[in-house]
Amino acid sequence: MTKNPEALLEEEQQIAERYQAVLERIAQAAARAGRAKEDVRLIVVTKGQPLEKALAAVRAGARDLGENYPEEGVAKMRVLDQPDLRWHMIGHVQRRKAKLVIAHYDMLHALDSVALAQRLEHLAAEAKRVLPVLLEFNVGGEQSKFGWPAWDESQWDALIPDVEAVLACEHLLVQGVMTVPPPVDHPEAARPYFRRLRSLRDFLARRFPQASWDELSMGMSADFEVAVEEGATWVRVGTAILGPRPPKKPTA
Ligand SMILES: *Cc1c(COP(=O)(O)O)cnc(C)c1O
């Protein structure tokens, strides 16, 4: 299905407007919380979206793009290969995909196991690079979610050995934490999850003051303003800017 030029132009304009509107809403949420808007950065999540929408986001000014599946992002990078774009891997990385992350991505938001950390460490050392990473935590308790279990404070002490093991990886630069909370009917319902991630971050920062824990990656289309009020430094917004993701094609 190819779109006619008018439809493409209209889509591009809509994306530009929605991109600006999201930036404005971030600025307002930051102001409500007494924060500087510059302290919140927007990742446009292009996963599952056609290339022309990703291109429209870049034309609108987006420089940080987020992908969930390593190959899908790499395919877009081949076309959108501006040196000033930063590509964020925000989804779970399978062991056999770790190499793509090291070769192509600027930052990993979804480091969720010591095994993956050690695999990435090995590959990053080989490639002579350092990969900025965020540790993903499950603060909502859903079985289906990735991330270290952290929905109950009583679990936090048990995280210490794993965090120590990640911090021992010299080619991974830990910068903070990330979460994907359970879906909520109302943005306000996500607030307790964002607060929990922030207090977990504070807990880790007290235990490991030698590392940097500044970054809080939280908030998506449905709830990014609440996340900004609760301290998000990265928000990951897809559909609110690019529109609905087309249904997944069956993979060959
Ligand atoms: C898909 C996805 C997003 C963006 O979700 P939207 O609801 O489209 O804004 C953000 N973060 C992660 C980890 C995702 O998988």
The answer to whether the CB of 54 falls within 8 A of the CB of 65 is: yes
Residue-range domains of the chain with CATH: 5-242 (3.20.20.10)
Kindly give the distance from the C-alpha atom of residue 113 to the centroid of ligand 1, in angstroms, as a whole number: 20
Tokens of 47: 């996963």
Kindly give the distance from the C-alpha atom of residue 153 to the centroid of ligand 1, in angstroms, as a whole number: 26
| Helix spans in the chain (H) | 5-32, 51-60, 70-79, 98-104, 114-126, 160-167, 191-207, 224-229, 239-242
Whether 239 is in the pocket of ligand 1, judged by its Cβ within 6 Å, is yes
Confidence of residue 252 (pLDDT cuts 50, 70, 90): very low
Whether 68 is in the pocket of ligand 1, judged by its Cβ within 6 Å, is yes
Please, what sign has the CA dihedral across residues 35, 91, 49, 66?
A: positive
Q: What is the mean pLDDT of the chain?
A: 96
| 204-219 pLDDT tens trace | 999 999 999 999 999 9
Tokens of 153: 């404070």
| 162-192 pLDDT tens trace | 999 999 999 999 999 999 999 999 999 999 9
Neighbours of 95 (CB within 10 A): 11
- pTM, to two decimals: 0.96
| φ/ψ bin of 42: left (φ > 0), alpha (ψ from -120 to 50), beta (otherwise) | beta
Radius of gyration of the chain measured on its C-alpha atoms: 18
| 120-159 pLDDT tens trace | 999 999 999 999 999 999 999 988 889 999 999 999 999 9
Whether 45 is in the pocket of ligand 1, judged by its Cβ within 6 Å, is yes
Could you give the CA distance from residue 241 to residue 57 in angstroms, rounded to a whole number?
A: 8
HSE, CB side, 13 Å, CA atoms: give it for residue 186. 2
